[in-house]
Chain A
Amino acid sequence: MFGRRNPQLNANDELIHLLSIEGLPVATLQHILDTAGTFLSVNERDVKKVPLLRGKSVFNLFFENSTRTRTTFEIAAKRLSADVINLDIARSSTAKGESLLDTIANLSAMHADMFVVRHSESGAPYLIAQHCAPHVHVVNAGDGRHSHPTQGLLDMYTIRHYKHDFTQLTVAIVGDIVHSRVARSDIHALTTLGVPEIRAVGPKTLVPGDLKEMGVRVCHDMAEGVRDADVIVMLRLQNERMSGAMLPSAGEYFKTFGLDGAKLALAKPDAIVMHPGPINRGVEIDSAVVDGNQSVILPQVTFGIAVRMAVMSIIAGNSP
């Protein structure tokens, strides 16, 4: 019964799709991060290719536009020697009225081996994984507010790279958590990896109290939220939050929950600052912090390629 069993694992608990970090065993997460480490060196070589996915077809299905994420998946797949087909679905078949599942059926008939899916609705990749041919693997590249597992994993890779041990850390996630699939993925990954203190920081309109049940401490005060933190994850603030009466203005948001030098000084001296991008300088984060020496925002992007290579190579090697 698809509704009940974790659909991204096969009967041996091996990863066949990556839909969400929730419910993944800690060993699986560690395995992905370790594998990513081995690919990092590939990315630094003159010939940046390994033949792990040679002859395989990876379809990038972006029902919602995102040049950056799509590009990183494309680079990762190409470095694994896969053939990559980019489909900008927002502008093609579904615009002509074709249903999501008809699109999937057609692409499956073209002998796809893997779908990398971004969709504006939470849960859409689950529907695709449920209805595509059994040999096809699905990677969630972001679904609605629900999940963005490869971003969560690359964030974990970044934290492990700089902080080594998860079990001693305080991590603050700041901003629009209610609408953020990145925050949800980070929270699941951090709790699985044993981080003792995870804080969700922001105004009550953006940080619902229900988050407690995901294992985080909810903070509605920025100073309390970042004090003595080892890691600060800043989230992007969308402009529509102002029109939806969730915030009065970008200016007031920056003043109260934006990260500037003074607020960063409350964290541990060696705290790192992360951001999934794209950045709104002067809205959720000050330019000086983005470009400062505690920022690891660009290394996140580099690690993102290796993590996506790891995910694709691992799931392609497991059969349903």
Chain B
Amino acid sequence: MTRTLITNARLVDPASGRDDAGAIAIDGERIAIVARGHDRRLSDFDAARTIDAHGAVVAPGLVDLAARLGEPGSEHAGLLESELAAAVAGGVTSLVCPPDTDPVLDEPGLVTMLKFRARNLHRARLYPLGALTQGLKGEALTEMAELREAGCVGFSHADVAIRDTLVLHRALQYAATFGYTVWLRPNDAWLGNGVAAKGPLATRLGLSGVPVLAETIALATIFELMRDTGARVHLCRLSSAAGVELVRAAKAEGLPLTCDASIHQLHLIDVDIGYFDAAMRLVPPLRQQRDRDAIRAALADGTIDALVSDHTPVMEDAKHLPFAEAEPGATGLELLLGAALKWGEATKLGLSKTLAAITSRPAAVLARSRGAAESNKRGLDEGAVADLCVFAADESWSVDGTTLASQSRHTPFARYEMPGRVRCTIVAGQLAYEAAG
């Protein structure tokens, strides 16, 4: 049983909005004492290890609702070991991975094995999503109850659009029977096949474009099916201003809906493709400035619940191809914190509200999807599980893909100056990452 004391900390708890100087004591897996100011209990706490935070922020660990890990099937691009190490290097203590692995996560055995291997690495917690249909083919349903027992927190179709609306309808009906959350990226199967967002840039460069319609039509379909089935849905990686408006209206109507957007949609636009820069080949494709502005505003006002890294390991050569042929995706686990802080600074949101988008709010989405009883002890509460991220808010670093822990080095944020440097990451009371020096 480890007993750790973190002193000289700035305790930021997004769930309560509190931001105080103090210390935190960890006993075993849980937070024992949260000392804001002088607390006589600390003198009785017999710590095996004391970490002097030197004024750094101690916050709940980051929760990333979209991170691919390379396994199984893409080990050349990323390994569970390297990518979970990247997670804790980025302050991420819990992550949700989509089922579009090879083989697809449509069998309980695969899920059990993945969870077992991840647990043995003692890094970030891994929460897999099960496939909604067998092989993600959009035809036959998976054994959802079995997959849930194996540890799937919800069911998803990853980036594969379901062509057959009847299958989607039945999948939502079946999931709703058991109260499972269905995670869907709104993208019409027919209109959604392009390599850039439709618009002046795609037209000028001669790249096939995905119209906004691909997102809005899919959203309209999903909302109608939700009204009919009562299914709970988490929408993944929204990309357009029109999509944001539809989500806002659906939430106002009371549909059981949450949604996320990625760090790419938060900071980049189609113009960043420049002269066919394959690092900008992303799914969903980068849209226009008004779309980015709408996503930034919606993340601030809570219409978008969570910010995700959309971490996708891509092997070195897979981007050295003409833009359309290059593999989509980018490394992101180590950039999630910086991307959030950068957005928070630009929108003058304050640290606590900024961190909520990558901690308490995605944690709530995950808890609901897991069907976990809503615990009243979370975040920095005494008695809560000690998943923590310690970072220097006033230090910045220049992004260089070759220095990241992730095996994948491609990022559209190369050479960006990112605020916030992770000092250490604690998962279940154990030190899972500590920065060198």
User: Footprint of B on A, CB under 8 Å?
Assistant: 1-4, 6-7, 22, 99-101, 119, 121-124, 126-127, 131, 143-147, 178, 181, 184, 208, 210-211, 213-214
- C-alpha spacing A39/B320, complex, angstroms: 38
B272 closest partner in A (C-beta): A3
Partner of B203 from A1, A7, A123, A210 at Cβ < 8 Å = A210
In the assembled complex, the Cα of A208 lies from the Cα of B277 at a distance in Å of: 24
Contact B200 A131 (CB under 8 A): no
Of all chain B residues, which has the CB nearest A213? B200
Contact yes or no, B206 A2, CB < 8 A: no
Q: Specify which chain A residues have a CB less than 8 angstroms from the CB of B116 in the assembled complex.
A: none
| Given A126-B275, A145-B206, A146-B206: A99 and B322 interface contact (C-beta under 8 Å) | no
Flag if B317 contacts A127 (CB, 8 Å): no
B205 and A123 within 8 A (CB): yes
Q: Answer whether A144 and B206 are a contact pair too, CB < 8 Å, given A122-B276, A123-B276, A126-B276.
A: yes
Q: How far is the CB of B319 from chain A (nearest CB, A)?
A: 10
B311 to chain A, nearest CB (A): 21
Smallest beta-carbon distance B432→chain A, Å: 35
Flag whether B321 is at the interface (Cβ < 8 A). Answer: yes
Please report the C-alpha to C-alpha distance between residue A121 and residue B202 in the assembled complex, in whole angstroms.
13
**Chain A residues within 8 Å of B322, by CB:** 100, 119, 121-124, 127, 143-144
Query: In the complex, are the beta carbons of B204 and A127 less than 8 A apart?
Result: no
Provide the residues of chain B in CB contact with A2, threshold 8 Å: 275, 277
- Residues of A within 8 Å of B203, CB to CB, are 178, 208, 210-211, 213-214
Q: How far is the CB of A62 from chain B (nearest CB, A)?
A: 15
Smallest Cβ distance from B200 to chain A, in angstroms? 4
A3 touches B206 (CB 8 A): no
21 A-B pairs with CB atoms under 8 Å apart are A3-B272, A3-B275, A3-B277, A3-B279, A6-B275, A7-B275, A99-B321, A122-B207, A122-B276, A126-B276, A127-B278, A143-B206, A144-B322, A145-B206, A146-B206, A146-B207, A147-B206, A181-B206, A184-B206, A208-B203, A214-B203
Q: Is B274 an interface residue (CB 8 A)?
A: yes
Is there an interface contact between A101 and B320, defined as CB atoms closer than 8 Å? Answer: yes
B180 within 8 A of A: no
Minimum CB–CB distance from B208 to chain A (whole Å) comes to 8
Bound Cα distance from A319 to B320, whole angstroms: 25
Considering the complex, give the chain B residue whose CB is closest to the CB of A209. Answer: B203
3 interchain residue pairs of minimum CB distance: A123-B276, A145-B206, A146-B206
Determine whether B417 belongs to the interface, using a CB cutoff of 8 Å to chain A.
Answer: no
Residues of A within 8 A of B275 (CB): 2-4, 6-7, 123, 126
Q: Which residues of A contact B264 (CB under 8 A)?
A: none
Having A2-B277, A3-B274, A121-B323, one finds 7 other A-B pairs with CB under 8 Å, namely A3-B277, A123-B323, A127-B320, A127-B322, A143-B322, A144-B324, A210-B199
> With a CB–CB cut-off of 8 A, which chain A residues contact B323?
121-123
Q: Which one, A122, A144, A214, contacts B200 given CB within 8 A?
A: A214
- Give the chain B neighbours of A122 by CB distance below 8 A: 205-207, 276, 322-324
Verify A100–B321 contact, CB threshold 8 A.
yes
Q: A7 to B320: give the CA distance in the assembly, Å.
A: 17
B82 to chain A, nearest CB (A): 24
Q: Considering the complex, give the chain A residue whose CB is closest to the CB of B325.
A: A121
The yes or no answer to B198 lying at the interface (CB within 8 A) is: yes
**B200 / chain A contacts, CB cutoff of 8 Å:** 210, 213-214
1/0 contact trace for B186-216 toward A, CB 8 Å? 0000000000001110111111000000000
Q: How far is the CB of A41 from chain B (nearest CB, A)?
A: 35
On chain B, the residues within 8 Å of A7 by CB distance are 275
Highest count of chain A CB atoms <10 Å: which of B199, B278, B280, B320: B320
For B317, the closest partner residue in chain A by CB is: A99
CB neighbours of B199 from chain A (8 A): 210
A99-B317, A210-B198 given; A4·B207 CB < 8 A? no
Contact A214 B204 (CB under 8 A): yes
Measured CA separation A178–B324 after assembly (Å): 16
User: In the complex, which of the residues B274, B279, B321 contacts A127, with contact meaning CB atoms closer than 8 Å?
Assistant: B321
Q: In the assembled complex, how far is the CB of residue A182 from the closest CB belonging to chain B, in whole angstroms?
A: 11
Q: With A and B bound together, what is the CA distance between A196 and B272 in angstroms?
A: 30
Q: Kindly identify which residue among B279, B280, B317, B324 contacts A121, using a CB–CB cutoff of 8 Å.
A: B324
In whole angstroms, what is the CA distance A6 to B279 when docked?
17
Q: Which residue of B lies closest to A211 (CB)?
A: B203
> Are B321 and A22 closer than 8 Å at their CB atoms?
no
Tell me the complex Cα distance, A101–B318, Å: 11
Within the assembled complex, what's the spacing in Å between the Cα atoms of A68 and B369? 60
A101 vs B316: C-alpha distance when bound (angstroms): 13
Residues of A within 8 A of B280 (CB): 3
A123 to B198, CA, bound (A): 17
| A119 CA to B206 CA, complexed, in Å | 13
Query: Distance (Å) between the CB of B285 and the closest chain A CB?
Result: 14
Return the contact of B205 from the options A3, A100, A146 (Cβ within 8 A).
A146
Residues of B within 8 A of A145 (CB): 206-207
By a CB distance below 8 angstroms, the chain A residues around B206 are 122, 143-147, 181, 184
How far is A98 from B60 in the complex, measured between Cα atoms in Å? 48
Most buried by A among B205, B207, B274, B415: B205
Instruction: Determine the chain B residues whose CB is within 8 A of the CB of A184 once the complex forms.
Output: 204, 206
